[in-house]
Each structure stands twice: as C-alpha cells, then as structure tokens.
Chains A and B, each alone.
Chain A
Amino acid sequence: MSKLLRHTPVEITERQALSINPAKTCQPIGAMYASLGIHGCLPHSHGSQGCCAYHRSTLTRHYKEPISAGTSSFTEGSSVFGGQSNLLAAIQNMFTVYEPEVIAVHTTCLSETIGDDVPQIVDKADKEGKIPAGKHVISASTPSYVGSHVTGFANMVKGMIKGLAQPKTKPNGKVNILPGYVEPADMAEVKRLARMMGVKTICIPDTSGVTNGPLTGEFKMYPDGGVTVAELQDCSNSKGTIAMGFWASADGARYLDTEYKVPCSILELPIGLGCTDAYVDALRTIAGAAVPKEIEFERGQLVDMISDYHQYFYRKKVALVGDPDQLIALTDFLVSLDMLPIHIVTGTPAGKRFTSKIEEITRDIGYKVNVREAGDMFLFHQWIKQDTPDLIIGNTYAKYIARDEDIPLVRHGFPIVDRVGHQYFPTTGYRGGMRLIEKIVDALLSRKERDAPVETFELVF
C-alpha cells in the first residue's frame, strides 16, 4: 500500500529548529476546555479570531458537541494599540447576548506578545459597570509559546480557583478533586469512586455533562454539568485537595495550599491498576473509612481480566505518544501487565521530571526504552521504524504511522477526531482499566487473527 508518511526516513538526524508532526498543541485550547468545566461559563479567547475558531473546531471534532466561546476579534489596529477596547466591548456584548454566569478569559500568543494586562482590563470593565451584579470574569495567562495545551489547562484551573475562591469561612467537609486534563467520562468516574467512598467532592473543573451531553431537542448553551461558581467559591473551605496529574493539576492545588492552607496530595492520573489504587487509598485516608465492597469488587474484576488475558500482553512492545500525565499512568499500567513500553514521546516540554519518572517505572523491564519530552511524532515514527512495536497508543494522528507501519493502534489522548467512545466511557478507575484492557486485547487479537494462516486460526482466545 502507498505510504502516507512516505518521506520519513529511518535514520534520525537531530533537529534544532524544525518541528514535524507535533505531539502537543497550544495553551489556549487547554484553557478553553478547562473553562467549559465551570457551570454557566463562556470561555473567551483574547486575541484574533482564528485561534478561537481553531480551538472550537478541534474541541468540537473531538467531542461532537457544541463548543461555545467568544473572541476579541483583534484586527491590525488592536495588535498595534493593544486589545483593551476589544476586550471591554466583548465582555459587555457577551453578558448581554449570551448571559453567562462567568466569562473565563484566556490569552493567546498575540495578546501576550502585545502585553495586554487582562486582570487590569477586567478591573476596568468592572468599574465601568460592564459586569452585571453577581456575574464574574476570571482569567488566565496562556501564552502559546510556553508549554502546551496541558499548561493552558493547568493555568486555567489555577485561574478559576484564583478568580473565584473566597477567603476561608467554615469547613465544608469536602475534598477538592483536581481530575487533570482528562475526558468528561473520566471526571465522572473519579467522582463516582469518591461518592462510593462516602467522600463529598468539589471537582475542578468538571466537564462531565458538558462536553458529553444528551440530545434533548433543545440547545443549552450552558449544559447542566460543570463545577458551580458557589462550589468554586467554597473550595477554600475544603479539608484537602487531591490533585491528579502533575502537569495539569499541581499548580492549582499548590495555590490552594499556599493561599488558603488547603493541604494537597499530588497523585498520578488514576489510570490503570496501580494508579487507581493510589487514588482509592488517598480517598480512604481522607474519609477515614474502609474501602467498600463494591470498589473491591470492581478492582477484583480488573485483576481477573488481567490474569485471564496475561498471555497476550506478556512482553508485547508498545509505543506511546501523548500528554505527560497520561503517559506516566499508562506506562505504569502497561508495565504492570508485563508489556514493554518501548517508545514514549510527549510534545509537552515536561523536563527531566517526566523522563526520570518514565525511566523509574520502566527500569526493571529489561528492554531499552526511548523516552523524549518536547518531542514530536516525526521522531516517534522514526523510533517505531527502528524497533517495531506490537501496538501503538496515541491520538488520531497516530493512525498515519499505524497504517504505514502496519501496527494496531489504540486511540487514547487528545484529539480523537475519528472514533467515538472517549467522551462516554472512562479510562480512569478500575472500570476504566477494564476498558483499556478490552481495547488492547481487541487490537492485539484482531491483528493476530488477520495475519494467522489457515492452520493456526483459532476459535477460542
């Protein structure tokens, strides 16, 4: 079959300046996604309108849901004189026409380069009476030339806490959950586990019910889901914060700690057996209660599945590309299945913290592991050409590599624009682990069956 990525050579040459086939995207889209996790919130992109159009399109393709967001629609004039008047007008127009509870402003590389001071402009809007009583405007600085979409998400999580949390009053007995840059279904699952443990939570942000809504015959610009303003205002009164995923959640959690003395634990994303165990264990400690039978039952089912299909996982090589938080949890899970995660690439500049963590998890697998932060999918592909894995785990773009190299692909991460399921079915928690296993087994065995000669084609696996 003709190759799609036909110009990618096996030989790797170091590149200093040219990025090819990115494994990340820019901050504002992460900020926009996080903002959608506040109930009644209209995200706003302070920059020229192309960024906003691109971010909305990409989120829409990923979720197949309406994604509303405003833009300051900069023109040449605004980029010379600054975007203050655009933002002031935008705030007024949005409150009048779209009536949100909150507007969450994020910047773009344009407004950042110009140097617009968004908090100061918001202040001005407030003084000029452009923010109706009881309504809110929050903001986050999200320069696209720093970090990645994950950084943007983290910045907006911190921004919503900073913008809405009120000084401590009386303890609410709740736990703040910062679920990380995961799917709405994942957030719902994390909340469900906490509920089963008897822990009351404030999930910051919470896109469940927002970016995976039902078809009801009515267009709700502000769907029922999302963490409410009241909850965010109250999060300073929580007894603690469980933050999941260092890159997406640590900043927000630490802010709550330093500013409001809400202690935090920073965990990995609860994807796979070990990381979910850590989450449940943390909830147990906080709740001071025994883990209920129902959760142990789910865990037992996951372990059962692993034992049933272990022979198909054993020493199968996997290449993974995605976001740092996801990659760490996934790598941990794969290692626990006795699989071999051999090529691991994130586009996010995640530093040594990321690479050492991966090295630590894979230290004992007895196989050479390639790991790169601030890498791209071109390098990922070259590694795959050099040492062919049995499976690829990555977003939709990985399918070009999968087809060229004839390797099965399990879609995971952002964006997934060609398959359904990620919105509705979690990969977090024990049930999420089961879903991942289902997908991996299906991919591996379908391939085995496709390639099996007549004499070894089997009925039972």
Chain B
Amino acid sequence: MATKSKKPAEISRESLASFKEEVLKKYPPKVARKRSKQFLLNEFQGEDAPQIEANVRTIPGIITMRGCTYAGCKGVILGPTRDIVNITHGPIGCGFYSWLTRRNQTRPDTETSENYIPYAFSTDMNENDIVFGGEKKLKQAIREAYALFKPKAMAVFATCPVGLIGDDVNAVARDMKQEFNDQGIDINIFAFSCEGYKGVSQSAGHHIANNQIFTHVVGTSDTVTEGKYRINMLGEYNIGGDAFVIEDLLHRCGITINATFSGNSTYDDFARAHTADLNCIMCHRSINYVAEMMEIKYGIPWIKVNYIGVESTVKSMRKIAEYFGDQELKDKVEQVIAEEMPAVEAVLKDVKPRTQGKTAMLFVGGSRAHHYQDLFREMGMTTLAAGYEFAHRDDYEGRKVIPSIKVDADSRNIEELEVHPDPALFKPRKSAEELKALEDCGFEFKDYKGMMPDMQPESLVIDDLNQYEAEELVKKFRPDVFCAGIKEKFGIQKMGIPMKQLHSYDSGGPYAGFVGAINFYQEIDRLVNTKVWGYIKAPWQKKPELVASYAWNDA
C-alpha cells in the first residue's frame, strides 16, 4: 500500500497533541515517561512556555540520531582546521569514520600551504596497546608525524578505550611538546579527553574542544589582522562552502574576519582570536563557551548572528554595522544588501508559487533545525515539527533559562573552566556607556532566544527524535520535506517523502547568505516538486483490473 495515497492527518492543535499520546503508547512505561518530557506542543509562549527536557541520556536500544563526544570534538570543532595534524588515539575505527566524511571545505592559500584535512592519522591501537597501555605508541606516533610533516601544531583525540586503560593524553601532549621545544622546535601540542562516552551526545565534545582550544591556543599570537572592523565568526564550519559565502559578503562590506571557528580556518586564526573586536556566533550550541570565555578574559562582546535565510542574513549584517556604529560601514552594508537582493527576489518569484503552503519538518544538530526554518518561511512553507539532536534547553527556550537548567551527572563530567580577566590582554571593546546606549536602542548582546519562540503554536517540538518517532511523524502528517541526517535519509524516502540532509547538505550548498538562499530555494523546489515520487506505483498497480483492450487477445 503506497503511503502516498493515505490521507495525511489534518494539522490542528488536536491532531498534533494526540500524536504524542499515540506515539508514547508503544513504549515501555519507563521509556514513555522519559520521552514525554522531550516532546511538546509549542502552544504557550512567554512566561507560560513549557519546559522541554534536553541534553539528557538517550535510552539504550532506542535508535537515536546522536553521535558521540569524540565526533563533536574531533569531527565538528577541530575537523575543519586544515593545518593541525589531528591524531586519533585509539583503535582504527573512530579515525576512519571521521575521515573526510563531514564536508568541511577548505582553501589553502597556496599550492604548498599546509592542508591535512585529506589525511587520517591514528595510532591504530591493537590488543597489546589495550593491555599494556598506549602512551608509548602515542608518543612514537607524534614523533613520526613530526618527522614526516613538521607541522606547527598537533592535536590528540582520545577515543572510548583510552580513558579506561589509563592513558593520559594530556600528559603525553605536554611531554611531547616539551621534548620538541627542548630541541628548539617551535610546535604546539595539545590533547582532548573526548572519549565517546563522556557525554550524552556530540555536545559534550564541543564543550571539551572549546575548553582546550581556549586554554592552549587562543591568545598565543599577537599578530593582528588588518582592518577597521575586525570580528570573529564562531560556530561556522564551512559545510558545503557556507563560510566562503560569508567571508565574501563581509569582505565586501569592509569587515575583516579575524578568525573563524572553525570553517576554512588555520591554527593561526585560533591563536590570534583574542585580538578581534566582536564575536559573532552562528551555531550557539557548539561554540558559545569560547565566546563566553573570551568575553571574560579579553573583553570581547558577543552577539548571535545567523546567515541562513535572507532576512536573518540582512539582520545579522546590520547588527554588526550597528555595533561598530560607523555610518560609512552602515552604508556599505546597505549597498551590499541592495546588490544581492534582486537575484534573490527573482528566484523567489519563480519558486514560491510552487512551494507556497507546503510543509517541512526539521530534526538536526544544535542550531540548524532553528536556522533553516527561516528559509522555509521565506518560501511560504510551514514548519510542522522540529527538534535538535544534541542541543540544550537554552537552544529551545532561550538563554534566559540557563540559570534554571539542572546540572546532572553527565554535564558535571565536563569541566567548566574558571576564567578571569587577563591582566595584560583584557581590554573592554566598548565603554559601559557605549554598551548601554546600544542596548537601549534594542541591541542585544549575549543573547539567543532559542527555537521555540520562532515557531508557530501549532507545531511540535521534539528533542532527540528517534527512528520510530520519525516514521510515525511522517506517516501521520506527510510533510512535503523532511530534514535530518544521513542515517535518517533513506528510511524517510522509502515512504515517498523527500529528505534533505542538513548536516552534509546532500553534497549541495552553500546555503548561507544570499547566494546560499538562492541555492536552497531551488533545491527545495526541486525536491518537493520532483516527479520521482509519482513513479512509485507501476501503471498496473494503479489500475489492477484486467481489461481485454488488445485486439489480438480477442482472436
């Protein structure tokens, strides 16, 4: 039976609310109890807004979208930087799977500039190393890597068994750095205790990565990039070339990107990050820690930006201009916006009649399930349901809930660094009066309002969606497009619903900025209007009755 021909449920408060009940029925009581807290109808806003449970353990046996701490640390945060030799300390698998599988594009300056992204380095631990310890092998691996590549920096990532067998990756990194420095070799070596089980998802790995980069790299170089308006882009990983688009856009406005964390970045970007005058956060979940710490230690304020969606892009560009306050910059920003808009409008005009009124569901990451709703809205599409894979409550409900988030055992695992103003390098970028003046005009520092306030009341918010729930959602509501990751893609498509990957973009992109929005509009138009779903039934399945229509049958 083609699911296509089944009539999808009407979208209403009732049908959405009853969905939760129907789905939970299947679970054993303990599971149902837990899942019910991660699942709500977005009907109340403001003070009455309900709490959603997030960043809690996935239930064993439930087929989750989530990955691990190592993936969040090595894969997400450090993966996109091209000139650090990243050594995975562990058996071969972890290093293998994180080898080139995230689409972090990078553009080395010259033909000979360092670029280790196409390489996978691993200690490939064997049984002997597990039994007798792997520190010696790790040290040897670092020596061999240096002999071959002479990089300026190396990083070591711990995988699951490493912590258990007592290998101290941080001590090894320290010793090896010392060993090289003693020989007069200038190299930085640091490590990440990002064993996969450390947290409940990739999120723990982001935090660990933030801590170590902040501790070991940020602030180690005093070279200041040239430019009048110097910012850092945080939480932009250059999937499908997004960072290239943003770089180009800001460059045309006269804004200098001093460092990106970490799309298309280099080690030196991180080292001089403390010299910027503003931190702009794209993916709040993965990188807010570094922004917070830089503010305390160096006095750099941070703002939330978003380059996904035209409206958000425009807002973000104006926000940066407003921060610096110069009319010249503001004019330039308006000029660039004016240059970009005609192309956007032309494509929207073409595409919107075909996308208007269609529906979407987004379950991905820690920010994209929110950001991409803007693009759908611009195309006249409605988001019926959305949720994150590994975000925290603040990403749903806004940073105002941070004080009320209870710290459980899993979060306590991840070190919170104690940071103080740097005696030499702390420098407030704006005076208290200037900040106040900006705030009085509605300028928001350090704020992220989360996904829920931006969604309509008739929509579902579901944290850590699993395979069974995804299938039920699709069966019941039949959205026109479903967005998630590679693991979810083909199950959804078997049901005849197009699925767009919002981690890897299905090899598409870029989707950031104006150019990216155009790409996305066209991609969604292609997906929701493709003929392929119409081919699922063969002609004889559509009309099974046998009619003797061929003349030669009568003979």
Please measure, in the bound complex, the distance between the C-alpha atom of A144 and the C-alpha atom of B90, giving whole angstroms: 9
Interface residue total, chain B, C-beta cutoff 8 A: 97
A148 to chain B: which residues have CB within 8 Å?
A: 92
Please measure, in the bound complex, the distance between the C-alpha atom of A188 and the C-alpha atom of B26, giving whole angstroms: 36
B161 and A109 form a contact (CB under 8 A): yes
Please measure, in the bound complex, the distance between the C-alpha atom of A18 and the C-alpha atom of B92, giving whole angstroms: 11
B148 and A13 form a contact (CB under 8 A): yes
**Residue from A75, A79, A217 in contact with B495 in the complex, judged by beta carbons closer than 8 Å:** A217
**Residue from A53, A70, A96, A110 in contact with B71 in the complex, judged by beta carbons closer than 8 Å:** A53
A7 and B148 form a contact (CB under 8 A): yes
Residue of B nearest to A220 (CB): B494
B240 to chain A, nearest CB (A): 15
B486 and A93 form a contact (CB under 8 A): no
Please measure, in the bound complex, the distance between the C-alpha atom of A16 and the C-alpha atom of B200, giving whole angstroms: 35
Please measure, in the bound complex, the distance between the C-alpha atom of A109 and the C-alpha atom of B197, giving whole angstroms: 12
* Contact string against B for A residues 106-127, beta-carbon threshold 8 Å, 1 for contact and 0 otherwise: 0011101110000000000000
Residue of A nearest to B469 (CB): A97
A66 and B127 form a contact (CB under 8 A): no
B94 and A50 form a contact (CB under 8 A): yes
**Residue from B60, B93, B410 in contact with A54 in the complex, judged by beta carbons closer than 8 Å:** B93
Which residues of chain A from 210 to 224 have a CB within 8 Å of any chain B CB? 213, 215-221
A301 to chain B: which residues have CB within 8 Å?
A: none
Please measure, in the bound complex, the distance between the C-alpha atom of A218 and the C-alpha atom of B65, giving whole angstroms: 21
* Contact string against A for B residues 94-116, beta-carbon threshold 8 Å, 1 for contact and 0 otherwise: 11111111000000100110111
B28 and A93 form a contact (CB under 8 A): yes
A76 and B94 form a contact (CB under 8 A): no
Binds A, one of B118-126, B299-307, B439-447: B118-126
Please measure, in the bound complex, the distance between the C-alpha atom of A91 and the C-alpha atom of B60, giving whole angstroms: 8
* Contact string against A for B residues 402-414, beta-carbon threshold 8 Å, 1 for contact and 0 otherwise: 0000000110010
A15 to chain B: which residues have CB within 8 Å?
A: 144
Residue of B nearest to A99 (CB): B26
Please measure, in the bound complex, the distance between the C-alpha atom of A55 and the C-alpha atom of B491, giving whole angstroms: 16
B1 and A93 form a contact (CB under 8 A): no
**Residue from A73, A90, A94, A109 in contact with B57 in the complex, judged by beta carbons closer than 8 Å:** A73
A21 and B119 form a contact (CB under 8 A): yes
Binds B, one of A56-64, A166-174, A199-207, A327-335: A56-64
A57 to chain B: which residues have CB within 8 Å?
A: 97, 101, 485-487
Please measure, in the bound complex, the distance between the C-alpha atom of A57 and the C-alpha atom of B99, giving whole angstroms: 13
A143 at interface by CB-CB < 8 Å: yes
Known pairs A7-B119, A75-B197; A215 contacts B97 (CB<8 A): no
B453 at interface by CB-CB < 8 Å: no
B489 to chain A, nearest CB (A): 7
Q: Which of A2, A66, A79, A145 has the most CB of B within 10 A?
A: A145
**Residue from B121, B144, B486, B536 in contact with A216 in the complex, judged by beta carbons closer than 8 Å:** B536
A134 to chain B, nearest CB (A): 19
A4 at interface by CB-CB < 8 Å: yes
Which residues of chain A from 11 to 54 have a CB within 8 Å of any chain B CB? 13, 15-22, 24-29, 44, 47-51, 53-54
B300 to chain A, nearest CB (A): 33
B435 at interface by CB-CB < 8 Å: no
B3 at interface by CB-CB < 8 Å: yes
* Contact string against A for B residues 495-531, beta-carbon threshold 8 Å, 1 for contact and 0 otherwise: 1100000000000000000000000000000000000
Please measure, in the bound complex, the distance between the C-alpha atom of A389 and the C-alpha atom of B63, giving whole angstroms: 45
A290 at interface by CB-CB < 8 Å: no
Please measure, in the bound complex, the distance between the C-alpha atom of A86 and the C-alpha atom of B58, giving whole angstroms: 11
B31 to chain A: which residues have CB within 8 Å?
A: 93, 96-97
A79 to chain B: which residues have CB within 8 Å?
A: 160, 163-164, 195, 197
Which residues of chain B from 134 to 148 have a CB within 8 Å of any chain A CB? 137-141, 143-145, 147-148
A18 and B487 form a contact (CB under 8 A): no
B66 at interface by CB-CB < 8 Å: yes
Residue of B nearest to A16 (CB): B140
A13 to chain B: which residues have CB within 8 Å?
A: 144, 147-148
Known pairs A20-B121, A53-B67, A108-B160; A28 contacts B93 (CB<8 A): yes
A22 and B4 form a contact (CB under 8 A): no
B94 and A54 form a contact (CB under 8 A): yes
**Residue from A4, A66, A68, A89 in contact with B59 in the complex, judged by beta carbons closer than 8 Å:** A89
Which residues of chain B from 450 to 502 have a CB within 8 Å of any chain A CB? 467-468, 471, 485-487, 489-496
* Contact string against A for B residues 51-81, beta-carbon threshold 8 Å, 1 for contact and 0 otherwise: 0000001111111111111110000000000
B92 to chain A: which residues have CB within 8 Å?
A: 19, 22, 24-26, 144, 148, 347
A21 to chain B: which residues have CB within 8 Å?
A: 99, 119-120
B277 at interface by CB-CB < 8 Å: no
A209 to chain B, nearest CB (A): 14
A50 and B164 form a contact (CB under 8 A): no
A400 at interface by CB-CB < 8 Å: yes
Q: Which of A7, A17, A65, A89 has the most CB of B within 10 A?
A: A17
Known pairs A3-B111, A219-B494; A47 contacts B160 (CB<8 A): yes
B114 to chain A: which residues have CB within 8 Å?
A: 7
A176 at interface by CB-CB < 8 Å: no
A424 to chain B, nearest CB (A): 15
Known pairs A6-B111, A113-B164, A146-B126; A217 contacts B496 (CB<8 A): yes
Please measure, in the bound complex, the distance between the C-alpha atom of A113 and the C-alpha atom of B131, giving whole angstroms: 9
B268 at interface by CB-CB < 8 Å: no
A91 and B61 form a contact (CB under 8 A): yes
A381 to chain B, nearest CB (A): 10
B547 to chain A: which residues have CB within 8 Å?
A: none
Known pairs A7-B149, A48-B160; A109 contacts B130 (CB<8 A): yes
B68 to chain A: which residues have CB within 8 Å?
A: 48-51, 53
**Residue from B27, B60, B467, B491 in contact with A90 in the complex, judged by beta carbons closer than 8 Å:** B60
| Top 9 A-B residue pairs of the complex, sorted by shortest distance between their CB atoms | A50-B68, A26-B93, A90-B61, A93-B61, A66-B491, A217-B2, A17-B140, A54-B97, A19-B124
B residues apposed to A, CB below 8 Å: 1-4, 26-28, 31, 57-71, 87, 90-101, 108, 111-112, 114-116, 118-127, 129-130, 137-141, 143-145, 147-149, 159-161, 163-165, 195-201, 409-410, 413, 467-468, 471, 485-487, 489-496, 536-537
Given contacts A72-B61, A73-B64, list 4 more A-B pairs with CB under 8 A. A4-B115, A17-B138, A66-B491, A97-B62
User: Would you mind naming 24 contact pairs between A and B with Cβ atoms under 8 Å apart?
Assistant: A5-B119, A7-B116, A9-B148, A13-B147, A17-B138, A17-B139, A20-B121, A53-B65, A64-B490, A71-B60, A71-B61, A71-B64, A75-B57, A75-B199, A75-B410, A79-B164, A79-B195, A93-B27, A93-B59, A96-B31, A108-B160, A112-B161, A397-B99, A400-B118
